[in-house]
């Protein structure tokens, strides 16, 4: 019986220990235009790609010109792990800052910031390549991890019960 409890305790500790990895917040994988990049013509949109899907409720993206004016226009669009914010006329040359707040799949707010530089004012807006070699989303890996850990736990418990039942009575 002691072995059964030991196996169950170790299995429970492994399950609890690995749950911290599965509940991680969303992390920014890429920003288009890229953080710290320089471009001659301004973009028409800002694209943020995260490592997991994010919620559309509470998502905010602000794009500030060198003089501090917010040039974000229209509604932010959230599709799975991609957030797209259209931007209006960027008539000033200089450094533009991007401030964003999204809600991670686990419900926690995530704040990111970045910047890019427009070198020539007055150029028409261009559409940046929003997905340079991006791999398609593989779904929610947190759910897969949790289900796999539960299945492993069930197998360990079943093996422990079989081992205890096979022992001869003392």
CATH number listed for the domain at residues 2-166: 2.60.40.1220
The pLDDT score that the predictor gives to residue 145 is: 74
Residue-wise pLDDT for 85-129, tens only, equals: 999 888 889 999 999 999 887 788 999 999 999 998 764 455 554
Domain regions of the chain by residue span: 2-166
My answer on whether omega of the bond before 33 falls inside 30° of 0, hence cis, is yes
6-15, 65-74, 109-118: least confidently modelled range? 6-15
Higher pLDDT: 154 or 32? It is: 32
- Residue owning tokens 């796999």: 148
If phi > 0 it is left, if psi is from -120 to 50 it is alpha, else beta; for residue 80 that is left
Task: Indicate if the pLDDT at residue 142 is higher than 80.
Answer: no
Sheet holding 82-86, edge to edge: 28-32, 45-50, 82-86, 77-79
């Amino acid at each position: 019986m002691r072995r059964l409890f030991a196996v169950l305790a170790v299995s429970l500790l492994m399950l609890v220990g690995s749950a911290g990895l599965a509940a991680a917040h969303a992390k920014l994988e890429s920003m288009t235009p890229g953080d710290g990049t320089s471009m001659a013509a301004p973009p028409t949109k800002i694209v943020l790609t995260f490592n997991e899907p994010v919620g559309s409720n509470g998502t905010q993206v602000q794009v500030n010109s060198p003089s501090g004016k917010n040039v974000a226009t229209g509604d932010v669009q959230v599709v799975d792990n991609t957030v797209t914010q259209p931007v209006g006329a960027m008539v000033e040359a200089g450094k533009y800052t991007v401030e964003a707040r999204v809600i991670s799949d686990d419900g926690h707010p995530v704040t990111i910031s970045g910047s890019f530089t427009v070198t020539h004012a007055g150029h028409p807006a261009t559409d940046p390549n929003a997905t340079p070699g991006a791999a398609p989303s593989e779904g929610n890996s947190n759910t897969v991890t949790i289900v796999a850990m539960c299945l492993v736990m069930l197998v360990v418990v079943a093996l422990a019960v079989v081992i205890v039942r096979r022992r001869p009575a003392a």
